[in-house]
């Protein structure tokens, strides 16, 4: 497998970054994860737009234009095995003597790698997963896709140690998102997800589900979801680029709705798989 680092394609083992890189020292960087199906990028321009927004938010100039990004990422995918891949890219503020203040000039580090995109465990689709609720201990810029993920990692690990797959995060008793996913709730046939804002990442999958719901005539709202709403849910879903739509069937040890993946999940999953099949076909 070849990776991309600062203008070159090279074997992973040869891709080296300075220990003074601000990504390493401060978590001073942003990233994206983009699925590839049948060799075709899934919603690439939206990922590149979000990357631009993340970079603007941390006052780091985008080192590549959209067409340069497309070329680099396409070449990366062509140099890696398999038609279904997950491309990871990251831009950091680069190496500099350790100082909180931005270096002048900046030499950003641009890195991208691609890994095979494994299908989801069938168990998750058949039975759903367990989740736990946790206080959202993160900062107030969660709309930035920052590589500084310490809080997300600690929260995900807590979920795993509690025998669950994901932590659903509550800020002042209101749902924001999962440790690495957005969250949807179904109640009385109506789908809902928290509104965008600085407390959650604007998920590409989240937006696609809103689009598909609109086209499919599924009623859908962007609204505040409270801790109490979660206990009343008929269905709960997690969404992310690599895991698609995962039904949550146990929350904090209690069954969600029927305790099985729900009918609206089934309907949305079909719409999502149809959309993916169109991307795959080119
Ligand atoms: N929120 C967080 C905190 C995430 O890390 C992710 C994905 N990694 C998401 C939401 C989902 O975003 P997307 O649908 O763009 O993958």
The domains located in the chain, with CATH, are 2-116 (3.30.470.10), 122-281 (3.20.10.10)
| pLDDT score of 1 | 86
| pLDDT tens-digit map of 220-271 | 999 999 999 999 999 999 999 999 999 999 999 999 999 999 999 999 999 9
Distance 97 CA to ligand 1 centre (A): 32
| pLDDT score of 263 | 98
**Ligand 1 atom, smallest distance to 179 CA:** 3
Please state the rounded mean pLDDT for residues 98-126: 97
Long-range contacts at 3-11 (CB < 8 A, ≥ 24 apart): 3/76, 3/111, 3/112, 3/113, 3/114, 4/72, 4/75, 4/76, 4/110, 4/111, 4/112, 4/113, 5/109, 5/110, 5/111, 6/109, 6/110, 6/111, 7/110, 9/75, 9/76, 9/79
**pLDDT category, 21, cuts 50, 70, 90?**
very high
Q: Provide the mean pLDDT of the chain.
A: 98
The ipTM is 0.99
Q: Is 127 a catalytic residue?
A: no
Residue 240: CB within 6 Å of ligand 1? yes
| pLDDT score of 87 | 98
Distance 105 CA to ligand 1 centre (A): 31
Residue 54: CB within 6 Å of ligand 1? no
| pLDDT score of 187 | 98
What is the pTM assigned to this prediction? 0.97
| pLDDT tens-digit map of 115-146 | 999 999 999 999 999 999 999 999 999 999 99
The catalytic residue among 118, 145, 260, 276 is 145
| pLDDT tens-digit map of 25-54 | 999 999 999 999 999 999 999 999 999 999
Distance 48 CA to ligand 1 centre (A): 14
Distance 57 CA to ligand 1 centre (A): 17
**Ligand 1 atom, smallest distance to 208 CA:** 14
Please state the rounded mean pLDDT for residues 75-91: 96
Q: Taking the mean position of all CA atoms in its chain, how far away is CA 205? A: 8
| pLDDT score of 251 | 98
Residue 193: CB within 6 Å of ligand 1? no
Collapse the DSSP code of 86 into the 3-class scheme (helix H, G, I; strand E, B; otherwise coil) and give the result. Answer: strand
Which residue's CA is the nearest one to ligand 1's atom 4?
180
Residue 241: CB within 6 Å of ligand 1? yes
What is the 8-class DSSP label of residue 226?
A: B
| pLDDT score of 192 | 98
Residue with tokens 């099949």: 277
| pLDDT tens-digit map of 159-170 | 999 999 999 999
Q: Work out the percent of the chain whose per-residue pLDDT is above 70.
A: 100
């Amino acid at each position: 497998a070849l990776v991309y680092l600062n203008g070159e394609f090279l074997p992973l083992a040869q891709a080296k970054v300075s220990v003074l890189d601000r990504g390493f020292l401060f978590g001073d960087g942003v990233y994206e994860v983009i699925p590839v199906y049948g060799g075709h990028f899934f919603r690439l321009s939206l990922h590149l737009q979000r990357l631009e927004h993340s970079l603007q938010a941390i006052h780091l100039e985008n080192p590549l234009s959209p067409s340069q990004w497309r070329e680099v990422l396409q070449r990366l995918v062509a140099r890696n095995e398999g038609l279904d891949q997950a491309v990871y890219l990251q831009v950091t503020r680069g190496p500099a003597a350790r100082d909180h203040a931005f270096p002048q000039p900046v030499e950003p580090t641009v890195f991208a790698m691609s890994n095979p995109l494994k299908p989801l465990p069938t168990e998750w689709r058949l039975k759903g997963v367990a989740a736990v609720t946790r206080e959202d201990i993160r900062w107030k810029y969660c709309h930035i896709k920052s590589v500084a993920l310490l809080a997300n990692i600690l929260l995900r690990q807590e979920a795993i140690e509690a025998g669950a797959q994901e932590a659903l995060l509550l800020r002042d008793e209101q749902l924001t998102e999962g440790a690495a996913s957005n969250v949807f709730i179904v109640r009385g046939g109506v789908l809902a997800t928290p509104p965008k804002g600085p407390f959650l990442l604007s998920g590409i999958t989240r937006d696609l589900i809103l689009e598909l719901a609109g086209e499919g005539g599924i009623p859908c709202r962007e609204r505040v979801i409270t801790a109490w709403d979660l206990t009343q849910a008929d269905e709960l879903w997690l969404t992310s680029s690599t895991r698609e739509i995962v039904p949550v069937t146990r929350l904090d040890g209690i069954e969600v709705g029927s305790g099985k993946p729900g009918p609206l999940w089934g309907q949305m999953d079909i719409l999502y798989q149809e959309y993916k099949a169109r991307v795959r076909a080119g």
